[in-house]
Amino acid sequence: MLVAVLLSRPLFAQVDMIALHGKIWTENPRQPEAEALAISGHRILAVGSDAEIQKLAGPNTKVIDLKGSRVVPGFNDAHVHFFWGGQGLASVQLTDARSREEFVARIAAFAKTQPPGAWIVDGNWDEQKWSPVELPRHDWIDAVTPHNPVWVQRTDGHQILANALAMKLAGVDKNTKDVVGGTIVRDANGNPTGIFKDAAKDLITRAIPPPTDAQVDAALLAAQKYALDNGVTSVQDMGFTGTEAADMEARVVRGYQRLMAEGKWKVRVAARFPLPEGARYRALGIMTNFGNDTLVIGSLKAFADGSLGSATAWFEQPFDDQPGNRGLPSEDLANPEKFYAELKAADQAGNHIATHAIGDHANKVILDLYERLEKEDGPADRRLRIEHAQTLRPEDIARFGQLHVIASVQPYHAIDDGRWAETRLGHERAKSTYAFRSLLDSGATLAFGTDWFVAPINPMLTIYAATTRRTLDGKHPDGWFPEQKLTVEQAVHAYTVGSAYAESQDDIKGSLEPGKLADFDVLSDDIFHIDPAQIENVKVLTTVLGGEIVRP
């Protein structure tokens, strides 16, 4: 059955491209699958059979032969840190370092390629891959980085290692006081070891020179290539943390605009500013999705706590492996009433809100505040989100559906953290961590993302993680808490329609149907008809964005 937009002039005069002979997964419940589609300008004109679509072609229509390949809507990553990710592609690579010795050797080798005084940043190390598992210290790397300040972060982005030179430039020493919402890790004599967690990271970050426009543009272009190579046509950029967040986000948004003006920018971006910046939005009258099909602003991001890996996530009970520590609230949430006042002001001004919450207590507190907002201000299409929604009290799972709170989740974290999470949480608490199926069954909307730079941006790895829950160490071949697995159909829906809904753009993207943006991917295999364990090997052959082939 042909589904087409009614137009005021003949269809054939407006058809710029047709794609034929495919297996098109539309995400349109009225027409779940099709063979072909037609595109006019940047949008889909019609979806139907090969014969129906072929009739619409004119003499100048570009024709794509899909050759029986599976086609899905363009993937929409609901949670990335785009500049950080792009910048990290050119920095020292520490994610897969398997030991202290390899960690040090990689930093030493990279330092030799840098001019004196240049900061070494990012890195994304993971001490859980080392034996023994231990946090790094500045004295490990001081000798190999005497002329380069170092600020390398853990893979979760919630703690960094600074070398002695970085601490000296930042004016940090034994006498530096602790900060609200963060931790300075110290040795037995009270000296900083070089590890700074959450809000304490700012003590070092403030000493790093801001990137130049050229550096911003280079990082964004590197990020864009990586995204398009993996079939990601839309991203929701969650930006930065700490006191420099607003300034950095502004630099990056200017970078997006520069590249758009130069005709170099393709990926669709929804950029979020920190919650405290809501006052600027309100002063200018900016609401959510102010912008165009390529770049929108107006939504806000807040933090409730830290991370599980850094043991700064906020829990009801202490960590199993750290009996005296139950994490801590974020700097944002240190004053709950002030935090709520900012939520309320943003909500009333039409700015949608997403809040990072990892620990079960952090999630409870945010759900409580969202519920209070609903009661005080009345029903509205708020699209309230919790980013990560990682560890939940069983009784809070149903509240997502009841309160219409979107669970913006990153399945790759489950197969990564699943290697060690039970050491920190114990088996019982781990049962309701990364509880994707339970959330979906509660009536919640799932929006899928990666948290890139924290995890690979590759959607196939995300779908593989959601449908198999096979941890990266190979110890759970049938899945870590397999009752939380999703079907491939559910995973793709969360990565397309769910993500579009979460950014309030489901009217123009997320599904392949007339009137919506012509963003889609051609896959090497039919992910709906292969063993989910094989999905991690599937490739994106072609990426189409707005009717333009942008890869290969």
> Using one digit for the tens of pLDDT, what is the confidence trace for 434-460?
999 999 999 999 999 999 999 999 999
Domains annotated on the chain, with CATH = 85-205 (3.10.310.70)
What average pLDDT does range 407-426 have in this prediction?
Answer: 97
pLDDT at site 9: 38
> Using one digit for the tens of pLDDT, what is the confidence trace for 167-196?
999 999 999 999 999 999 999 999 999 999
If one counts every other C-beta atom within 10 angstroms of the C-beta of residue 199, the result is 24
What average pLDDT does range 339-364 have in this prediction?
Answer: 97
CB-based contact 543:535 (threshold 8 Å): no
Q: Above 70 in pLDDT, residue 8? A: no
CB-based contact 93:113 (threshold 8 Å): no
Residues 6+ apart with CB under 8 A from 6: none
> Using one digit for the tens of pLDDT, what is the confidence trace for 461-501?
999 999 999 999 999 999 999 999 999 999 999 999 999 99
Q: Above 60 in pLDDT, residue 13? A: no
pLDDT at site 4: 56
pLDDT at site 246: 87
What average pLDDT does range 383-407 have in this prediction?
Answer: 98
Q: Where are the alpha helices (DSSP H) in 275-417?
A: 278-284, 336-348, 360-377, 394-403, 411-417
Instruction: Please state the separation of Cα 235 from the chain's center in Å.
Output: 8
Query: Which residue, chain included where needed, has tokens 């989100």?
Result: 385
DSSP 175: T
What average pLDDT does range 373-394 have in this prediction?
Answer: 97
Note if the pTM is more than 0.85. yes
What average pLDDT does range 223-239 have in this prediction?
Answer: 97
Per-position DSSP letters for 50-86, written without gaps between them = HHHHHTT--TT-EEEE-TT-EEEEPEEEEEE-HHHHH
Q: Above 90 in pLDDT, residue 38? A: yes
- For residue 335, give both structure tokens: 């004053």
Residues 6+ apart with CB under 8 A from 51: none
What average pLDDT does range 309-327 have in this prediction?
Answer: 95
Determine what percent of the chain falls in helix, strand and coil, rounding each to the nearest 5.
35, 20, 40
Residue 107: closest CA among 135, 158, 60, 143: 143
pLDDT at site 11: 43
pLDDT at site 448: 98
DSSP 35: S
> Using one digit for the tens of pLDDT, what is the confidence trace for 520-532?
999 999 999 999 9
What average pLDDT does range 246-258 have in this prediction?
Answer: 95
Mean pLDDT (the chain, rounded): 95
Whether omega for the bond prior to residue 411 falls within 30 degrees of 0, making it cis, is no
Residues 6+ apart with CB under 8 A from 322: 311, 424
pLDDT at site 531: 98
Q: Above 90 in pLDDT, residue 245? A: no
